[in-house]
Structure 1
């Protein structure tokens, strides 16, 4: 059997196992270990062991539990809820104002957390009930929350970009900067859509009634501005100190986790229950990441041994005669298809051993490609019928919001994101301008 057929058999076996509902790390690890033992006998058992030791020696991986802890500490302590209250008061008098405020909240959460799941949880628990109570269209509400939460994997400190940087051997600082401008552009596009749509159809996002606005005094409005101070301090402690060179990647995550605890203390909400819930959720998410990465390292080692990267490059360029841009488009389409079944981390660790060396061989910028990968993951998350975020929203939303409502709600936002992806592909400098400005070309 040729190496190409072995690689194809591994991928098809993996997808079949995933369709049976097996956990991602179990499916990936099982296929990798069976393939290595079948191909190389007893010596193949070393691949799984070596991937475990490589993971344990991967010092930057310490950032994952620390960033996850920071995000859960802020969400569980109510810092995000206070921020939404401020946005609610200041933007509620606009048509679609609560929708605009929700997008701003999601950007802030992304800059404090780096995970889209946290944004989704906060949006459905805080923003969704408020908007429904005030007469917002349920499809507008669910679309706004899903689109806004997707920014968590693009806006720094994105944990997905940290993982991409580790696997692709690219500097995380440059990846964070590369994701910042596209993330803000997407947020502005979402806000522009909300403003235009609610101006045309005010019933979709009515402003707060005048009677309710009159109950809020000017003094109270200005006092609420203080809710934005703590998030700014947290964001600066993570991103600002890191980009200024005062902290390393691991140090900035530790500083962020410490400042998040101080923020909860300042709010008077730091107690044993909060610490227990935060640590339990952090442990669950961190262990999931560790298992997936360990399985993927073994899977990638088998592919390296097969020479699959060279085989695929030869297939695309020599046998099929595809141009580099055609290959790039095929890669993005494959992410959208895989995104129907997998989350962003699983997609990255499964195909990164194949795609990233190919991207470099085709002379594309791997920093720029990291942004394209992340935006494509955002689109895949929200593409019916099996988008990851669609079912997450259905699980968290109230019963009156059906799956068809969620499908229809996301259509305009997915269209915006596809347009943005084409824009970022056509003009790489949108992503590369800020890293080149800070670090110089090269």
Structure 2
């Protein structure tokens, strides 16, 4: 049996196991271990050990639990809730204003967290009940929250871009800066869609009632203070890193400490908040560790088979495809896998295969990291099995059914595809800011 057939058999077996509902790390790790033992006998048993040691020596991996802790601390302590109240008062008088405020909240949460799961939890628990209570169309607002929460994996400090940087051996600082303008552009496109839709159909997003809008201007200004702490946290974490004062791991530690101090200053740091934050941080961090460990083992077997060179030869040699055609095929494969995998699993499974190919085709790996992340955002929300769809179903109230969730996301998927096309056609949207800062 040729190595190409073995690689294809491994990949198809893994996909089959994932479709049966097995845990991602279990499916990937099991196929990797079985393949290693079948190919190299007892020597193959060292691959799992080697992958574990490589994981333990990945110093930048320390950033993951710290970023996750920071996001959950801000969520559990109610600082994100304060932000929503601010947006609620300032944006409420517009048709669709609360939906616009929800998108802005998601941008703020993304800048403090780096994960889409936390944004979804905050949007579903804080924003969704308020929007429904004020007569907003349930289908539109469900789509707003799902689309807005996806910004967490693009706007810095994106955890997904940290992982991509580790696997692709690219500077995380450049990747973070590359995600800024595409993330803000996508948020702007979401807001534009809401404005236009509510202009023609104001019943979908009614403005706040007169009595709720009748708030003294001085009180409105006081509400702006809710944005001061998040801005300080973002500056201490990302700003110091970009200025070269702190390293990546140090900046994540600074973010975790400042988030805890913010909760303390607000008088909300208690045993319940700390326990919930630590419990959720431990759960998410362990999930990441197991997936990466399994993927490293899988990647080692694939690399040992020469699968990377085989794929490169297949696309460029046998199919005679051009660089852009290969790139589009890769993006389509991400969309397909995203219907049943999360972004981390997709990254650790195919990045060791795709990143060398992208580099060989002459594309910028920083730019490709942004393309990958946007494609993950789209895949997250693509029916029938998009990861975010089921997260939303688990968190939404009973009156929002799975059909509503499927229908709600359709216009936002088209908006995100437009954003993806713009970044592909105009790479400087992603590359201008890191180019200015790092001088290349």
Q: Is the structural similarity TM-score above 0.5?
A: yes
List structure 1 segments (4+ residues) > 3 angstroms apart after TM superposition. Answer: none
1:272 alignment partner in structure 2: 271
> Could you report, residue by residue, the CA deviation over 1:58-81 in whole angstroms, capped at 9, with x for unpaired residues?
100000000000000000000000
Q: Secondary structure at the match of 1:170?
A: coil
Name the CA distance, whole Å, in 1 between partners of 2:385 and 2:21: 13
Instruction: Give, in angstroms, the shift of residue 405 of structure 1.
Output: 0.9
How far, CA to CA, are the matches of 1:239 and 1:168 in structure 2?
A: 21
3-state SS in 1 of match to 2:340: coil
Partner of 1:120: 120
TM-aligned CA deviation for residue 218 of structure 1: 2.2
Q: Distance in 1 between matches of 2:211 and 2:429?
A: 44
Residue number in structure 2 paired with 1:201: 201
Equivalent residue number for residue 12 of structure 1: 12
1:76 matched to 2:80? The reply is no
**Runs of at least 5 residues in structure 1 that lack an aligned partner in the other structure:** none
> What SS class does the counterpart of residue 207 from structure 2 fall into?
coil
Structure 1 counterpart of 2:420: 421
- Distance (Å, rounded) in 2 between the aligned partners of 1:315 and 1:226: 57
Q: C-alpha distance in 2, partners of 1:417/1:223?
A: 35
SS at 2:122's partner residue? helix
Q: How does 1:22-421 map to 2 (within 5 A)?
A: 22-214=22-214, 216-421=215-420
Taking structure 2 as the reference length, what is the TM-score of the superposition? Answer: 0.99
Following superposition, the deviation at residue 219 of structure 1 comes to: 2.3
Deviation at 1:20, TM superposition (A): 1.3
| Cα distance in structure 2, aligned partners of 1:363 and 1:108 | 35
CA distance in 1 between counterparts of 2:218 and 2:133 reads 25
Distance in 1 between the 2:290 and 2:389 partners? 25
How many residues were matched structurally? 440
Superposition deviation, residue 376 in structure 1: 0.2
Aligned partner of 1:430 in structure 2 is 429
Q: Cα deviations across residues 256-276 of structure 1 (Å, max 9, x unaligned)?
A: 000000000011000111111
* SS in structure 1 at match of 2:230: helix
Distance 2:276 2:385 in 1: 30
In 2: Cα distance, 1:319 partner to 1:20 partner: 33
| 3-state SS, counterpart of residue 397 of structure 2 | coil
* Paired residue secondary structure (1:348): helix
Distance 1:326 1:213 in 2: 53
Q: Cα RMSD over matched residues?
A: 0.6
